[in-house]
Amino acid sequence: MQKKNIEIFLVSFTILFLEIVLIRWVSTEIRIFAYLSNLVLLSCFLGIGLGCYFSEKRCSVSRTILFLALLLFLVNFPLFIDLTGERVHLFRDLPILLSGFNDSVIWYEIEKPLILGYLGGLTATMFIFILILLIFIPLGQILGRVLARHENIILAYSINILASLLGIWFFNLFSFFYTPPAIWFVFVLVIVTLFMPPSRSNFLSLFICLIVIFFTMIFPLTKPTANETIWSPYQKLEISPLKRGGYVLRVNNVGYMTLLDLSDEGIRKLIGHFDQKMRKFSQYDLPYLFFKKDIEDVLIVGAGAGNDVSGALRNGVRNVEAVEIDPGIYKLGKKYHPEFPYAVSRVKVIIDDARSFFKKSKKKFDIISFGTLDAHTLAFNYNNMRIDHYVYTEESLREAKNLLKEDGILSLIFDVKRPWIGQRIQGLLNKVFGYPPLVFRIKSAELFGWEGVTFIAGKERNKLFERLGNNPELKHYIENILIDYSGEVKLTTDDWPYLYLEKPMIPMMHLWIILILVLLFFVTRSFLLPKGQKLNLHFFTLGTAFLLLEFQNISKTTLLFGSTWIVNTFTISAILFLILLANLFVHFFKPPRIKIIYLLLFSSILFVYFIPLEVFNFLSYWPRSILSSIVLNLPIFFAGIVFIDSFKNTQLKNLAYGSNLLGATVGGILESASFIFGVNMLLVIVAGFYLVSYILLRIEFNR
């Protein structure tokens, strides 16, 4: 049995580690996957589930390695170099053609591609999806086989969970040290060799994969264009010099921000690029023109590489608190920004997300500046929330307003790519502050490379407009560029935080992917569901319900503690720990009748549905952490008891586990329902699936 324990530990560790690696890497290098929520996760689940389902068939780990090598080659190796010197990758660049739909927003989108463009984007996207699925099938076969033959299923499943927990922490250890993907993939190959039988074909597949990693990642055949590339815990960052001075920072292969020297000396070097008299009206300087006296305290959220901080320092601010979620961006800004704002003693840098800081801070500020916080990086690998989703909600702006001094102002800069985004932000500020904000488009697009829109609101309306009247030059400048985004649009809240979605609906891009997945299932169902091996519908519904339960749990935890990578790691670790706790409970104690456990599960879901998160905000940090963790995780604990109690009593454990993972795939698809109904309403769907699972359990086991 010890050999089986080691085998299940190694394969479970490998599966979880590789799963996170591919979610992170594919969503970075193929940008469309960053917007298609958890498509990579669904592909992993589907591959593992199918592997467990067919665990008795012939298995070859060399297939995993060869399919991985093919994925790395197709994504990394450029098809050709275009006339501008840019590298064009077929499977990296073609999927972005899906961005042409107008009901959602994607950075550097393709405007209205031809039908063939949509078809090409869908084909390339689904090809990558299937390739990832194929990578995981052999690993799922090994996992299913060991589970089916293990003498103590509770021990086996506990080892599986413990190994998964370690896989998460190992990956985050790699992220902590900014290791590049080449290290991740080589580590995967090393672990795979520990449970791969020695043979000529296996060694050949390992050699091929190492060659691909070497020539596409370590020493690529095409020369990199960036001065420095780092992989932060959130995203890929590349920094390159600009011809006119300063640097451009690229995030996940697209331009994100410029690092400019707008000091008196630096501005003189920009003659021909920038009207010298307009420096004071730059997006980084303009908010300070509302104050004639020295400004004491300024908060900048989304401080980035330092442009906003430099603007505050140029205008004599005495104390600047700069909040930036990505330590990698701060690191590059500290090293490369021409004005070196992060080296100034008046600047206090906080590595945190905006919502988390709003909840912790007790200080009041003259100005709160929202930098360019818009992102296309997922907050977490297990849900469809982007890092900035909970920053632009009604609750978030209220928290920011509460941190303003009585005569303070809030400045928000955003790249408004759709009129309804402008309407949404204007509507939010109107609702929070009680009057329409000042809204205008900055005129320095020739310098910054984009046309951002500035929204300004003061805690006291009369004071704001009095200050504007006291500065005729500023008043004249703003009045000539005012924008009115009046109009009816759904405002974002913590329950419906989808800023980049026009209205409550499933975006067309997601609908097409869901439709194709459904069609693929019906086309291949004769292969996926052969005679004599039916899905275990009880475990299928448990998997669907649990993934939805996990999604809303992570979303609510994010609201309480922020969406930083370390918070997310602790969140998923807590979920896995509760599953382990449920296993121990069933192993050492005789659990109540399953009917009682289901009753407790439904009661805890109902409690979480109705309890407002604001209840926890009145507590200090540690009491809030402990109490909210217990309350939000109660359904997960009872769900874990239901699963392990059913699992130990079922006969075909490999089919049960495979069915559970296939159900989780459906749960991942159903997460899109939150686009329509909001996050909290998912708990109703969760309760529905658990009710169906109970009925199926009664039918199967007569319990």
Q: Where do the structural domains in the chain lie, given as residue ranges?
A: 1-222, 272-376+394-479, 528-703
E strand or H helix at 248: strand 247-251
How crowded is residue 612: how many other Cβ atoms within 10 Å of its Cβ? 9
Rg, the chain, Cα only: 26
The pLDDT assigned to 108 comes to 67
Report the C-alpha gap between 248 and 225 in whole angstroms.
12
Percentage of residues in the chain having pLDDT higher than 90 = 56
Whole-number Cα distances in Å, 26 to 39, 92, 426: 10, 9, 35
The pLDDT assigned to 423 comes to 96
How crowded is residue 168: how many other Cβ atoms within 10 Å of its Cβ? 20
Report the C-alpha gap between 226 and 327 in whole angstroms.
19
* Average pLDDT rounded to a whole number, residues 154-178: 94
The pLDDT assigned to 554 comes to 84
Of the candidates 100, 76, 99, 98, which has an alpha carbon nearest to the alpha carbon of residue 89? 76
Mean pLDDT of all residues belonging to the chain: 87
Report the C-alpha gap between 529 and 518 in whole angstroms.
14
The pLDDT assigned to 311 comes to 94
The pLDDT assigned to 528 comes to 63
For the stretch 46-94, pLDDT in tens is 999 999 988 888 888 999 999 999 999 999 887 655 444 556 677 887 7
The CATH code for residues 528-703 is 1.20.1250
For the stretch 336-347, pLDDT in tens is 999 999 999 999
Report the C-alpha gap between 126 and 94 in whole angstroms.
11
Which is it for strands 228-231 and 438-441: parallel, antiparallel or unpaired? unpaired
For the stretch 211-233, pLDDT in tens is 999 988 888 766 667 789 999 99
Report yes or no: 311 and 262 within 8 Å, Cβ to Cβ.
yes
The pLDDT assigned to 222 comes to 64
This prediction has a pTM of: 0.91
458 pLDDT above the threshold of 70: yes
What kind of fold does domain 272-376+394-479 have according to CATH? Answer: Rossmann fold (3.40.50)
Of the candidates 156, 171, 229, which has an alpha carbon nearest to the alpha carbon of residue 14? 171
Q: Please, which pLDDT band fits residue 703 given cuts at 50, 70 and 90?
A: low
41 pLDDT above the threshold of 70: yes
Structure-block tokens of residue 529: 């569901």
For the stretch 389-443, pLDDT in tens is 889 999 999 999 999 999 999 999 998 888 999 999 999 999 999 999 999 987 6
The order of strands in the sheet holding 254-259 is: 228-231, 236-241, 247-251, 254-259
The pLDDT assigned to 83 comes to 44
Report the C-alpha gap between 230 and 376 in whole angstroms.
17
E strand or H helix at 407: strand 404-414
Report yes or no: 269 and 338 within 8 Å, Cβ to Cβ.
no
The pLDDT assigned to 382 comes to 55
